[in-house]
Amino acid sequence: GAVVSQHPSRVICKSGTSVKIECRSLDFQATTMFWYRQFPKQSLMLMATSNEGSKATYEQGVEKDKFLINHASLTLSTLTVTSAHPEDSSFYICSARDERLAGGTPSSYNEQFFGPGTRLTVL
Amino acid sequence: AQRVTQPEKLLSVFKGAPVELKCNYSYSGSPELFWYVQYSRQRLQLLLRHISRESIKGFTADLNKGETSFHLKKPFAQEEDSAMYYCALSEADSWGKLQFGAGTQVVVTP
């Protein structure tokens, strides 16, 4: 199957700094990627939909100025947590939609491939 | 509003026993339903989707629109089935956006 990578896998930063997380589709193109947040022992919560060449779409309650998303190429989306605070500490997961199966349509008949996640700890 | 409900946080079964993970959804349109699995220290991966009507690793799931359910079943659980299972829903024309249930931890004991 297709592979999605995330970098870094783990990051520890000081409060007030910004952290960038990369999500790459290694062997397929993805015009749409998704960013999730997962708290311990909880489910994945969708944060935003990253669209190549256009602005990201954020879910209700997610601060777009806090969580900057850039999808500059068909294989790379980045999530930047700006002015991080301890409450931003979480597990961040990205997924990429395989356009080849969906044929470039909004149809959901497709498989999403998930990255391994990035553990962010803000001190 | 919570669209996907998984009522069981933890399911503990013996090896060889049947296992059923419940999933109910709330959506008035035609949803796409999925089951994702996360084994220990591994990434989330697709187990099966309703539209494929397939059996993967002995698991099956049938979409019941009348009961708005998509329960996951396996007649004989194996120890390697121990994992976290998430039911997920994608609305029509949503470009694949997934809404996940809370997840069910399955523990299969010998």
Q: Report the gap between the CA of B76 and the closest CA in chain A (Å).
A: 26
Strands B72-74 and B19-21 turn out to be antiparallel
Average pLDDT over residues A94-99: 86
Q: Is B17 on the interface with A (CB under 8 A)?
A: no
What is the Cα–Cα distance from B44 to A115, expressed in whole angstroms?
A: 8
What is the Cα–Cα distance from B37 to B42, expressed in whole angstroms?
A: 9
B12-28 per-position pLDDT tens digit: 999 999 999 999 999 88
For B86, the closest chain A residue by CA position comes to: A43
Contacts of B65 (CB under 8 A, 6+ apart): none
| Contact criterion met (CB < 8 Å) for A108 and B32 | yes
* Residue among B33, B82, B32, B40 nearest B57 (CA): B82
What is the Cα–Cα distance from A64 to A72, expressed in whole angstroms?
A: 17
Query: Phi first, then psi: what are they for B76, rounded to 5°?
Result: -135, 105
Whether A60 has a pLDDT exceeding 60, the answer reads yes
Give the bridge partners for A67, in sequence order. A81
DSSP3 helix / strand / coil % (chain B, rounded to 5): 5, 45, 50
B86-100 per-position pLDDT tens digit: 999 988 777 778 999
- How buried is residue B57: exposed, middle or buried, by Cβ count under 10 Å (0-12/13-18/19+)? exposed
Average pLDDT over residues B53-72: 91
For the record, the structure tokens of B75 come out as 């007649």
Whether A58 has a pLDDT exceeding 60, the answer reads yes
Measured between beta carbons, the chain A residues lying within 8 angstroms of B48 are none
| Contact criterion met (CB < 8 Å) for A110 and B102 | no
Q: Report the gap between the CA of B98 and the closest CA in chain A (Å).
A: 8
For the record, the structure tokens of B6 come out as 């998984």
Q: Is B29 on the interface with A (CB under 8 A)?
A: no
Average pLDDT over residues B29-48: 91
Amino acid A9: pLDDT: 96
- How buried is residue B5: exposed, middle or buried, by Cβ count under 10 Å (0-12/13-18/19+)? middle
Measured between beta carbons, the chain A residues lying within 8 angstroms of B25 are none
Amino acid A7: pLDDT: 97
Comparing A9-13, A112-116, B22-26, B53-57, which segment has the lowest mean pLDDT? Answer: B53-57
Comparing A105-109, B23-27, B74-78, which segment has the lowest mean pLDDT? Answer: A105-109
Amino acid A53: pLDDT: 83
Whether A106 has a pLDDT exceeding 80, the answer reads no
- Report the amino acid identity of residue B24: N
Q: What is the mean pLDDT of chain B?
A: 91
For the record, the structure tokens of A32 come out as 């749409």
Measured between beta carbons, the chain A residues lying within 8 angstroms of B51 are 109
A35 or A107: which carries more pLDDT confidence?
Answer: A35
Amino acid A104: pLDDT: 59
What is the Cα–Cα distance from A87 to A67, expressed in whole angstroms?
A: 13
Interface residue ranges in chain A relative to chain B, Cβ cutoff 8 Å: 32, 34, 42-46, 49, 93, 95, 97, 102, 106-112, 114-117
Nearest-CB residue to A106 (from B45, B86, B95): B95
Helix (H) or strand (E) run with residue A102 in it: helix A99-102
